[in-house]
Chain A
Amino acid sequence: MAKPFILHMLTTAKNLSPFDVNMALDAGWISAVPYINVEPSEVRGLVQDAIFSRSPKNLKRTAIFIGGRETKQAMDMLKTAKNAMVPPFEVSVFADPSGAFTTAAGMVAAVEKELLDKFQTTLEGKNVLALGGTGPVGQAAAVIAAQAGANVRIIGRQLDRAERIAELCNEEFGDGKIAVTAGADADKAEYMNTADVVFATGAAGIELLSAELIAAAPQLKVVADVNAVPPAGIAGVDSFDNGNPLAGSISGAVAIGALAIGNIKYQAQNRLLKRMLESEQPLYLHFEHAFEVAREFIKSTD
């Protein structure tokens, strides 16, 4: 008899996110078991406990989810988990710390769709500003966009921190194959002169891009704001916006709000959780795969 689907859900935080638990059960996992306050050093032991208690056949019905708050830590835990497998005793692992990977994937995929629909172009060669880009969503979005060919600049209040994050994105997440740059918030106005796309991924309730800067941007095409709590991260963006014209833009830019991004994020997370249920091979999933399924979802709605 086939065994029940079990998702072992690891987080370095004090609790799992109920969001992830709901998503896991709705994707078809029968049992979602929490492991909290997990130290990265404990991952190997937990993984090996999980793989040696079921037959290889039933391990296809077993997987691990990695939550937490930090992107680098989650990626390291994913690597540790992968290295702890003893084939044929191995299971799929999906990292999505704070939902950042799927949120970033949803945002970049939505931006890509608007570039194509409204401007008949792609991310290739576009200048992207990631405002408030030093957090988990900003980091993942920067890497995904850079991997799609964009010139991404992470903007932070402290330049040295933004520089450190850009380097992390390039070396750790981009395998040295991308070149995300950094900039200071104070120099935003200058960068807006050449910006095609703006991501706003800062803390809720802080305006990162003002109406004045939007009005002065000569080649702005798409802005995306993950913040659903007023005031908006980008002036004039409503959380329901989904390709609506951005108020005050002289270049005909359009806006994408938090709910439109959230919808794609939901679909991407759901699809990755289902992929692990259905896959014959163990999968190791992170932001790149999230972007893949976010694009897939957008294609399916055309």
Chain B
Amino acid sequence: MSKRSILHMFDPMPNNSPFDINMALDAGFDVLMPYSNVKLEYINNLTQDVIFSRGPAGVKRTAIFIGGRDMGLAIDMLEACKPAMVPPFQVSVFADPSGSYTTAAALVACVEKSLKEVHGKALHDCKALVFGGTGPVGIATGVIASLQGADTYLVDHLSQDNANDVAKQYNRRFSSHLRGAVARNDEEKAALIADVDLIFCTAKAGIKVLNAAVLAQAKQLKVAGDVNAVPPAGIEGVGLKDFAVPLLHASQATKAVGVGALAIGNVKYKLQQKLLNSLLESETQKFIDFRDAFDWARILV
């Protein structure tokens, strides 16, 4: 009888995310084992405990998931797993802290698709703003967009310094070209969006980041994507299921379109499911982060 499949879920937070638990069980793992409060320095030992207890056939039915809220730490943990493997005792590892990698990958892929279909443009032709840009989804979104050549700004709602620091930190790590910006009120938001092509909204759920009056100041906006599914929408006028639907409030940018949270969520869901499945199906070992997630998201849309 083949051994049951096990997903070891390492999480630096006090608890795993119920989102990841649902997704992992739905992807077909038989047993989920949560590990909370995991520190980077434990990863080596935990990984070796994972690989040495099931034999070379058993490790193919075993994988590691890395969660949390911190996108940089998740990458560090993913990297720390690699040297701990002892072939043929090795398992695949998938990092997706708070689902941020797959959410960001799905967001950028949906926006990219709308940009191409409606405007015939590519990400590298565009200037992009990421609202909620210093949170986990925002950073991953920014890095993906920047690596595709978009001139990308991470927008913090309180501090220019914080935005600059985060941009610098992740540029160093991923060779991206992010810049920082701040928008503390509607005036600052209006000034920022006046000349941008793309808006990614990844701010906290239930907060209206861009209202109709602010959107009216956008002069060359092409696509705006919002991942917030909890009313009110992060971008006023973007419906949850919108996929390249005209953005009426952007009255000066007549061809602008919006992508809503459920449209993005649908891609994100399929993507995370696909990547979790690949942990079970693959004969070869995989290390999956947001860059791999984006490659798959492009195929899915």
The residues of A with any CB-CB pair to B shorter than 8 Å are 3-4, 6, 8, 30-31, 33-38, 42, 46-50, 52-54, 58, 62, 86, 89
Contacts and interface: CB of A to CB of B under 8 A. Distances in A.
A211 to B, nearest CB: 49
Contacts of A42: 15
B269 A53 contact: yes
Nearest to A52: B229
Contacts of A49: 17-20, 98
B200 to A, nearest CB: 18
B135 to A, nearest CB: 13
B19 A50 contact: yes
B32 interface: yes
Contacts of B269: 53
Interface of B: 14-23, 25-26, 32, 34, 36, 98-99, 205, 229-231, 265, 269
A37 B14 CA distance: 7
Contact of A31 (B16, B25, B36, B205): B25
Contacts of A48: 205, 230
A36 B32 contact: no
Contact of A34 (B19, B23, B34, B229): B34
Contacts, number: 64
Nearest to A30: B25
User: For the complex, would chain A's binding face be called helix, strand, loop or mixed by DSSP majority?
Assistant: mixed
B32 A33 contact: yes
10 contacts: A31-B25, A33-B16, A33-B18, A34-B34, A35-B15, A35-B16, A36-B14, A36-B36, A49-B98, A58-B26
Contacts of B15: 35-38, 42, 46
A8 B22 CA distance: 9
Contact of B19 (A30, A35, A53): A53
Contacts of A30: 25
B18 A8 contact: yes
